Amino acid sequence: MALPFLVRRVELRNYRSIEHCDVELGPLMFLVGPNGSGKSNFLDALRFVSDCLNTSVDQALRERGGFRAVCRRDNLAASFSIRLEIQLGPESTAEYFFEIGADADRTFQILRESCEIRVWQGRSARFHFKRTGPAIEEFQQPEVYGYPEPAINRLFLAFLLPWPHFGGLCSALTRMSFYNPSVEAIREYQKASNFGLPMKADGSDLVSVFRRVEQADPDTIRRVFEYLSAALPHVLRIAVEEVGEKVTFQFTEAAKVGQPDRKLYASSMSDGTLRMLALLVALFQVSKPEAAVSLVGIEEPEIGLHPGAAGVVFDSLNEAAYSRQVLVTSHSSELLDRDDVDVDTLLAVSAASGATEIGRVDDCQKEILQRRLATAGELLRDNRLAPNQAVAGVQR
């Protein structure tokens, strides 16, 4: 079954450590490489798109330390750009691009922005706009006349949320969610919240999200618990407990034979247990279709877990990718140490002279994996996973 939203291709120029990459993506992708190679910067570029559309370019830049912290630190790099090719269901595709630069005062400027959506509904239709600086040069939306005035610090697409087709793309891009759970935030008693999904990036509202999902779709929570108990069989039950105006988890753990089961609050649980629970809720959180998470990015899901749980993590990622796109960064050989890892789900990441290189694994490694002479985990452990440089600039 085709996903309702799929980022098929990402091209980045001068985004943080990434001088240039051009890669194709599928429903499930693993960005694998050593620490410090730039894996997180790739995910952050997609998060930057979402943040810009949800708030403003100015705020998204400030949250990252300003324009100079985002634009690659190179005397020749005066701007950075992001281009996305997207599948919007079975009958619609989109290409979205923007470039941001800075003037002598380091004040950012939206230099260019363009969007083209192609729809097939018995016949082909095309909707597009093109912006250069503050001026809209082209705007085509059949049966819609005129367009809103663009703002200096906002992407024009953000103003088209009510417009047919443009609005669907904008909404889907704002619903991309990225996670690197903080066990400290999850251990704290959390303020009860009735706000909608998605879960916050650090898991600081995990308890409230867990409770809302449990009320709306108990089967999803049962599935979450099945994966959790497969990885951590000593965990027997999870419940949400209210403490005044705050909430926390109460875990029931199996005790030794002849002793009563133990009840522990989140503050007493291991890092691995809390991160695993946050990972599973992030992957399977459900909402109304118009508000559902379109893409989930996960930073190093294996952190804090026993290597024996890596297989459960892999299976949960694979299942989640049937309902939404899943992108994962990892340097764990255990996570990929299995024969059924599809080579087309791997993006190798390396760093050379301060520049991040991202691409499909090279032809030699691809043949090794396809012939099952070694697993991806074994190649990663031996530092033998490297991007294919056969086609400069484009990795497909």
Q: Is residue 216 in a domain?
A: yes
CA angle 208, 211, 217 (to 5 degrees): 135
Neighbouring C-alpha atoms within 13 Å toward the C-beta of 124: 5
Q: What is the pLDDT of residue 390?
A: 41
Q: Is residue 175 in a domain?
A: no
Q: How far apart are CA 180 and CA 186, in angstroms?
A: 12
Q: What is the pLDDT of residue 256?
A: 78
Other CB atoms within 10 Å distance of the CB of residue 68: 13
Q: How far apart are CA 160 and CA 148, in angstroms?
A: 8
| Beta pairing partners, 10 | 23, 84
Q: What is the pLDDT of residue 291?
A: 73
Digit-by-digit pLDDT tens for the chain (396 residues) are: 578 899 999 999 999 999 999 999 999 999 999 888 899 999 999 999 999 999 999 999 999 999 989 998 776 678 999 999 999 988 899 999 999 998 766 688 999 999 999 998 777 889 999 999 889 999 988 777 778 888 888 999 999 998 888 999 999 999 999 999 999 999 999 998 877 678 999 999 999 999 999 998 999 999 999 999 999 999 999 999 998 889 999 999 998 777 888 999 999 999 999 999 999 999 999 877 667 899 999 999 988 888 888 999 999 999 999 999 999 999 889 999 998 999 999 999 998 878 999 999 988 999 999 999 999 999 999 888 888 864 334 444
Give residue 185's Cα distance to chain centre.
20
Which two tokens mark 86? 């997207």
Which two tokens mark 316? 């949960």
Domain count, the chain: 1
Q: Is residue 339 in a domain?
A: no
Q: What is the pLDDT of residue 194?
A: 72
Other CB atoms within 10 Å distance of the CB of residue 181: 28
Q: What is the pLDDT of residue 159?
A: 94
Q: Is residue 338 in a domain?
A: no
Q: What are phi and psi of 54, to 5 degrees?
A: -75, -35
Q: Is residue 331 in a domain?
A: no
Q: How far apart are CA 116 and CA 129, in angstroms?
A: 7
What is the span of the domain harbouring residue 258? 181-293
Q: What is the pLDDT of residue 105?
A: 66
Q: What is the pLDDT of residue 269?
A: 93
Q: Which class for 249: exposed (0-12), middle (13-18), buried (19 or more C-beta within 10 A)?
A: buried
Q: How far apart are CA 85 and CA 73, in angstroms?
A: 26
Handedness of CA 389, 390, 395, 396 (dihedral sign): negative
Q: What is the pLDDT of residue 170?
A: 96
**H runs (alpha helix) in the chain:** 39-54, 57-62, 67-70, 166-174, 183-187, 206-216, 218-231, 271-284, 310-320, 363-370, 376-381
Of the candidates 176, 138, 182, 211, which has an alpha carbon nearest to the alpha carbon of residue 294?
176
Q: How far apart are CA 374 and CA 380, in angstroms?
A: 10
Question: Residues 108, 67: contact at Cβ < 8 Å?
Answer: yes
Other CB atoms within 10 Å distance of the CB of residue 95: 17
Give residue 198's Cα distance to chain centre.
12
DSSP letters for 253-303: E--STTSPPEEEEGGGS-HHHHHHHHHHHHHH----GGGS-SEEEEE-TTT
Q: What is the pLDDT of residue 111?
A: 95
Q: What is the pLDDT of residue 107?
A: 80
Q: Is residue 309 in a domain?
A: no
Q: What is the chain's length?
A: 396
Cis peptide leading into 289, omega within 30 of 0? no
Q: How far apart are CA 395 and CA 389, in angstroms?
A: 8
- For residues 160, 162, 167, 172, the Cα torsion angle rounded to the nearest 10 degrees is 110
Q: What is the pLDDT of residue 150?
A: 86
